[in-house]
Amino acid sequence: MNFLGNNIESISKEKAGIMKTGCKVVIAPQIEQMADIALKKCSEDIGCSHVVFAKSATWKLEMVGLAPTELLDKTHFEFFLSHLKNTEPKFFIITNDYIKDGIACAQWSGKLQWIDISKILKLSKTSQLLADGAHNPSAAKVLRNYVDKQLSKEITKDYVEGMPWVKYYDPQVILDCANSLESNINSKVVENLSEALRQAFANYDEQYRIIVLCGSLYLVSDLFRMLQWLGVSKLTNK
């Protein structure tokens, strides 16, 4: 089941759920025109007090010495800051230094996040897993680009619970879909996440391979719950 919808318009309507009556909303440029139309209608129906369709950004990441990364969406962030300052006078007191410090301290759980899962595997050696909730084509591209960059570097030795509406796909359906895109995929179906991690790291060579957990935000949440149960509470983006 596609909870968010199966087309651009229906997905945009679900994403518009963050809009609130009487509140201001800034909408960044959308790749699909249907998304713009759907978001505009939603803002009207909800009764937003002020709607801005961002066309240009006056605030730039480079102004505070920041470079865009996979974690920091340059376009969306610049539009957000530009129009936030233009529509909310009280935010003029926020300096570029405050913004830079805030970004430096921000954590994006489940987004390009390296996690040591040695406790799950009951191993004494550090076992790094790359976890990312990528579950759509654009997010998958960002994840793939990041993995490719990591693999191109010289790797050193430095070391849906409570959501009954979410239904899983038959594993074989997923494998058939993957095989239709890329032949000769070495695939295997296992009973649970713990067993999947154990098998993935069984013959792991950290010098030549990156193990990635992706495809579902709920799957990444399952990983966090496992780590929390094992007493691992401090998780950061590298």
Overall pTM surpassing 0.75 (yes/no):
no
Which tens digits make up the pLDDT trace of 14-55?
Answer: 888 889 999 888 787 777 788 888 888 899 999 988 787 766
pLDDT computed for residue 111 by the predictor: 84
Q: Which of these, 178, 216, 219, lies nearest to 197 by C-alpha position?
A: 219
pLDDT computed for residue 1 by the predictor: 39
What domains can be seen in the chain, in order of their start residue?
Answer: 8-105 (no CATH), 113-229 (3.90.190)
Please, what is the average pLDDT of the chain? 75
Which tens digits make up the pLDDT trace of 212-223?
Answer: 888 887 888 888
